[in-house]
Amino acid sequence: MSGLGGLNKSPNGVVIGLVQLQLPVVKTREDLAAQTARIVEMVGKARRNMGTMDLVVFPEYALHGLSMDTNPEIMCSLDGPEVAAFKQACIDNDIWGCFSIMEKNPGGMPFNSGIIIDPEGEVKLYYRKFHPWVPVEPWEPGDVGIPVIEGPKGAKLALIICHDGMFPEMAREAAYRGAEIMLRTAGYTAPIRESWRFTNQSNAFCNLMVTANVCMCGSDGSFDSMGEGMIVNFDGTIIAHGTSGRADEIITAEVRPDLVREARLHWGVENNIYQFGHRGYVAVKGGAQDCPYTYMTDLAAGRYRLPWEDEVKVTDGTGAGFDAPTRAFGERTKEA
């Protein structure tokens, strides 16, 4: 059910394009401007490549590369020239776009943020990565929740970023808030390939939700990103997959949010997103609706603690070259 990659678009279809963007090296403001122009150029390529495309998705780190450089000179803001260029590209090409920025955060470390822009150039979704990939990413933990918006054809869209997708709670939260399509953008390199594949599938199947997932691609001379654009149907079936590792290839498919809605209403067996909160409804009316999960109640009460907590060896980023933090979550400093 991909409509030949979106070439044949059904009345209820949403065509998604995942850009396996060449991994850049960005060190200066000039580099940042050049990479912004490159992304704008690729929005145009996406439109020319597939006239039926509704949404083009760029990977995490598309603008900044994988250096983890927190130099304020190359950090971005929502009202800065980079986002303005992305807005104009969506207007010029009459397309929805998903983009990645490393965002200035006065008094804290930068946020790893994602935005979705509509064809009128409006930012419709703004998300800050919940789970930076510790111990090697220095970004501030996200603090704006997991928003869900109405996207192309009225489809409910959510966005999570990279390591977020390794936590099943992230996809469950997106689905619980109504997402029918969950985007996952990433900069992952080859060692994560198998984990990437099966979590993209499990996130879809466990929540009766389409997942559309893409990484950076190619080498920057130090890192080799893997591309691996994947569109997974709500039953866990992969309907498009970029396995060639070819940089700048755009992986496309048509997805059907209307069939997601139908499955969520009519499936009995494996309607897990419903059954999670209605345990054993064959035996008891409406099913058990309690919370029997200790990790959930402990986390909510601020007492999450593993049985082996005191023996965990890696609990900060010092092994990756970062100073041990002294600021608690939510605290601000004069300078990060």
Confidence of residue 327 (pLDDT cuts 50, 70, 90): very high
Could you report the per-residue pLDDT of 7-60, keeping only the tens digit for each? 999 999 999 999 999 999 999 999 999 999 999 999 999 999 999 999 999 999
At 334 the pLDDT is 67
Catalytic pick from 76, 103, 129, 228? Answer: 129
Question: Domains in the chain, please, with CATH?
Answer: 3-275 (3.60.110.10)
Exposed e or buried b for every residue in 54-76, given b needs 16+ CB within 10 A? bbbbbbbbbbbbbbbebeeebbb
Q: Which of 76, 90, 98, 162 is catalytic?
A: 162
Neighbours of 95 (CB within 10 A): 22
Mean pLDDT in residue range 286-309: 97
Q: Known catalytic residue: 129?
A: yes
User: Are β-strands 224-226 and 217-219 bridged in parallel, bridged antiparallel, or unpaired?
Assistant: antiparallel
If you average pLDDT over residues 218-234, what whole number do you get?
A: 95
Give catalytic status of residue 104 as yes or no: no
**Can you tell me the mean pLDDT for 89-94?**
98
Structure confidence by residue, pLDDT tens digits, 178-207: 999 999 999 999 999 999 999 999 999 999
Q: Is pLDDT of 149 > 70? A: yes
Q: Is 335 a catalytic residue?
A: no
Please give the pLDDT value at position 333: 86
Q: What is the mean pLDDT of residues 233-253?
A: 96
Q: Give Cα 139 distance to the centre of its chain.
A: 15
User: Which pLDDT score is estimated for 336?
Assistant: 47
